[in-house]
């Protein structure tokens, strides 16, 4: 990881859960991190706990579902940090609804963040990454729910939005042939964050009894992908908690 010390990373959805864990671990490894989220104050709180680390965390307000917000956020990164070496597309949402009776605005909101928001961040990030011609890494935080669709009431379009990330990662690899930028998809099973707790069919007690990963486990997977030599492309990492059977 020494070669990444002092390099710049952008993490979307960095205000909590997996994004916050990733931002924290990158700062601990000496990277300068721009944490993007709709709630920058949460990132500022995290940054205050990392002042003794070798890296640094900056809070940048960004709603990835809004093109102008994404353009503005990455403009701030270019102006203030000068470059991007690592881009972590982590921002994602889910809305409890159904395919049989759901509302278009709810379906669209999920795709606007999980799919189109990722595309916007990738486009703007690549513009800056390509300027240096140096080694780079783009990471999509995916979900096993996109490959093995679980019988979760109200999941609706969420698995489909995550399945799209697998195709987007491979399409991006094709576009980046000949560059030094690699693309990694990290695909976890159930992670103990607030995401599933938003569903009415789950209580915190039920979630606590289920096998689950911690956000730090996904951060560790990212560090592994970063630590491999530049000639090694870690295309996909699948993580499942022991005992998960769906």
Enzyme catalytic residues: 158
For residues 87 and 129, is the Cβ–Cβ distance under 8 A? yes
């Amino acid at each position: 990881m020494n070669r990444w010390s002092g390099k710049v990373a952008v993490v979307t959805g960095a205000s909590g859960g997996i994004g916050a864990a990733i931002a924290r671990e990158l700062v601990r490894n000496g990277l300068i991190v721009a944490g993007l989220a709709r709630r920058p104050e949460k990132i500022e709180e995290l940054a205050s706990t990392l002042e003794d680390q070798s890296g640094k965390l900056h809070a940048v307000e960004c709603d990835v579902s809004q093109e102008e917000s994404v353009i503005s956020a990455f403009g701030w990164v270019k102006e203030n940090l000068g470059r991007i070496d690592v881009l972590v597309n982590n921002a994602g949402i889910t809305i409890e609804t159904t395919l049989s009776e759901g509302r278009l605005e709810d379906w669209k909101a999920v795709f606007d963040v999980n799919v189109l928001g990722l595309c916007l961040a990738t486009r703007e990030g690549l513009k800056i990454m390509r300027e240096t011609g140096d080694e780079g890494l783009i990471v999509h935080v995916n979900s096993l729910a996109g490959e093995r669709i679980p019988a979760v009431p109200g999941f609706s379009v969420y698995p489909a939005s995550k399945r799209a990330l697998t195709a987007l990662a491979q399409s991006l690899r094709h576009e980046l042939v000949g560059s030094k930028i690699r693309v990694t998809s990290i695909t976890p099973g159930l992670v103990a964050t607030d995401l599933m707790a938003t569903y009415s069919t789950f209580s915190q007690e039920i979630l606590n009894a289920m096998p689950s990963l911690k956000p730090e486990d996904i951060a560790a997977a990212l560090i592994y992908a970063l630590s491999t030599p530049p000639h090694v492309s870690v295309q996909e990492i699948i993580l499942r908690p022991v005992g998960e059977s769906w």
